[in-house]
Amino acid sequence: MIKKAILPVAGLGTRFLPASKSIPKEMVTVVDRPAIEYVVREAVEAGIEQIILVTHSSKASIENYFDRNFELETTLEQKKKFDLLKEITDILPKHVSVISVRQPQPLGLGHAVLCAKDIVGDEAFAVLLPDVLVKNNQYTENDLSLMIQRFQQSQASQIMVEAVPDHLVDQYGIVDVAVSPNEGESVIMQGIVEKPAVGSAPSNLSVVGRYILPAQIMALLETTPRGAGNEIQLTDAIAALQQSQTVEAYRMKGQTFDCGSKIGYLKAVLHYGIEHPKLGADFKGLIQELAL
Ligand code: G1P
């Protein structure tokens, strides 16, 4: 079973300045909770029990958010604000733990994942990039959970992908597949390349930022040279892994929101806002007012 998930949160979030100057971009609020909580929820829904934050000294508020806050809990209890107390104590189910490790230098996503090597040990694990929110609804089962099921059947690493317009391929990892998989299905991947130039990409299937990887990827990351952007790329280690193991591309069913970008973030607020159990109806009303 896949029980551990690495969430690389050390990035400084330059795409989200000025907000990210003093708030970690992962703590920017989507409706009424920080973006990172949606990613942690997604992982927990898929059966993850240990969240490993690969973080930076400026981002302690992320760790604090998932920790207990005794003073606040006591105050809410004394004031008999039990609904709010429940909200803050339910953020993380009891069986889930959050631990953190620092990424001492900004050497890229591959390096961030490698920082968790000793914590994952010899277990296969998930990686979730917290800039991207993956939204599944009652019609689309949690994609991460489907990837984990597929990994358990095939023992092949799983890379979540979605189609992007051809002119955007240079912003993503892009996979090479003989036949494009249907949504909810995995196919063997023939190659993967980080941010190819427009016109030279092997497909339009982009890496979303959800991976199921074997522990052996850590040894490969240790010898992965700097690649695109002069950073140690997870994509390059996955390409190396393919030399010895089958890697599959899983095509997601749900919807993605790139909360690392301002417009993607606003879109996420709209979509999560209209579905909020308490605020949704009023929020929809506001949107209708504006549309007049
Ligand atoms: C990272 C990965 C890339 C992936 C993307 C998804 O890139 O390296 O392969 O497609 O996340 O958001 P970044 O956005 O950190 O440059």
Per-residue pLDDT, 292: 64
Q: What is the number of domains present in the chain?
A: 1
Per-residue pLDDT, 137: 78
Chain CA centroid to CA 284, Å: 27
The answer, yes or no, to whether any atom of ligand 1 lies below 6 A from the CB of 235, is yes
Reported as a pLDDT band with limits 50, 70 and 90, residue 145 is very high
CA distances from 175 to 114, 178, 179, 236, 270 (A): 22, 10, 11, 12, 30
Does residue 56 register a pLDDT over 80? yes
Per-residue pLDDT, 287: 92
Q: Which two tokens stand for residue 247?
A: 């890697």
Per-residue pLDDT, 20: 85
Does residue 141 register a pLDDT over 90? no
The stretch 18-27 carries a mean pLDDT of 90
The answer to whether residue 49 sits within a structural domain is yes
Per-residue pLDDT, 291: 77
Residue pointed to by tokens 């400026």: 58
- Provide the percentage of residues in the chain whose pLDDT is more than 70: 99
CA distances from 29 to 77, 152, 211 (A): 25, 34, 25
Q: Ligand 1 centroid to 209 CA: how many Å?
A: 6
- Provide the percentage of residues in the chain whose pLDDT is more than 90: 89
Does residue 96 register a pLDDT over 80? yes
The answer to whether residue 22 sits within a structural domain is yes
| Domain housing 62 | 4-162+179-190+205-260
Beta strands in 196-243 (DSSP E): 205-213
The answer, yes or no, to whether any atom of ligand 1 lies below 6 A from the CB of 128, is no
The answer to whether residue 167 sits within a structural domain is no
CATH number of the domain bearing residue 134: 3.90.550.10
Cα dihedral 254→259→263→269 (10° resolution): 70
Amino acid at 190: Q
